[in-house]
Amino acid sequence: MYLYHSLCLIEIMSYTSIDLFAGAGGLSEGLSEAGFHCLFANEIVPIHAKTYQLNHPSTSVETADIRTLDAEDIRLRLGMEKGELDLLAGGPPCQGFSINAPVRSILDQRNHLFKEYLRFVAAFEPKMVLIENVPGLVSFEQGATLHAILEALAEMGYGADVHILGAAYYGVPQMRWRTIIIGQKGQEISQDAFPIPLYHAPIKPNFTTTFGGRQLVKVPDSAAKSNFTTVKDAIGDLPPLVNGEKGFAVKAYECEPFSEFQRYARIGSPGVYNHDAPRLSAINMARLKYIKPGGNWTDIPVELLPKGMKTARRSDHTMRYGRVTADGLASTILTKCDPHWGAYFHYEQDRSFTVREAARIQSFPDHYIFAGTSAEQFEQVGNAVPPLLAKAVG
């Protein structure tokens, strides 16, 4: 298997992996670009699993609650001995840890699914483990949960460590951060196991960045490039649309690719899928007329603001009703590209992002097709690990 990177031909070895809590497959997509072949994936939501299977046809995908799965039986079905699997990867649901969650509690049942991941570690004894989560994991319960995860891995024979990675440092055109835990069987994990940032980018953490008295955020050094991927670099070649426009299921590109990111995104794709403009309400279209690139809700006349925001401080909610700038980064893609919750207005077209634009901003290649309704597609994209970040880790 070969990968073109920076105009150099690099031979990539093929490794085996398993993806738990797989979602639509962003983590697996990035790992596959780094040379991993996913043998088995588990996802509880049927439509997410359908998207995963559509894009990873050679992977055995099981749609089920992980708590009902027999890890030993799956290992035997795959014909694997203990210790044979190269990588067990996964992102147990993180909503309960998120710094954006209304209430973060150890009682949230989603926070106990880590033990299901560890059950698979025990069954397969993989050479390496990878856990991804939100930055809020570091501060949750004053760090007790993260300590427990690292201690559990140590008891199972894995030297593990943790870092927080900024997706924009690896070519992803948005302000997104992920906590990454990597463990190696039988030895301490090398710091070389965590990817070196490739680009400088205008991002700043808004969360706890230290754990056990040390800094977790990996930042670029002087060798990193300055030309981070901008929003226009990411989506500027996609066909223009008006508010609510659908058109053909597969659309033609607007122009030849004019960025390295666009050339990467187009590989293996005959055209543009999942590119229909959501229909904004009349009131939102009226609001949008007043918002300049880089602007937000504070540009909107008071009489047009939602009732709850008319008395808000102008320094609060700075991403709401935001219009991105062409030469900047997008705000974090959430499970709904609803302008009330973030900067999801196109920089020059009077509409909000399409699923494909959100997927591009998450760094999904264009050949990656999302199944389901528009709302289900946005949810899949927003919950995903950006493939380029996963590729860097891989």
CA distance 362 to 205: 18
CA distance 391 to 29: 8
DSSP state of 251: B
Say if residue 11 is exposed, middle or buried (CB neighbours under 10 Å; 0-12, 13-18, 19+).
exposed
Per the CB < 8 A criterion, the answer to whether 314 and 296 are in contact is no
Catalytic residue from among 8, 94, 255, 337: 94
* Among 12, 90, 54, 66, CA closest to 364: 54
- Are 303 and 287 in contact by the 8 Å Cβ rule? The answer is no
Alpha helices by DSSP H, listed for 170-281, are 231-235, 260-266
User: What are the tokens at 321?
Assistant: 């009703």
| Cα–Cα distance measured from residue 390 to residue 388, given in angstroms and rounded to the nearest whole number | 5
Burial class (CB in 10 A: 0-12, 13-18, 19+), 187: exposed
Residue 255 bears catalytic tag: no
Whole-angstrom distance, CA of residue 40 vs CA of residue 360: 26
Terminal Cα-to-Cα distance of the chain (whole angstroms): 15
Point out the residues that are catalytic: 94
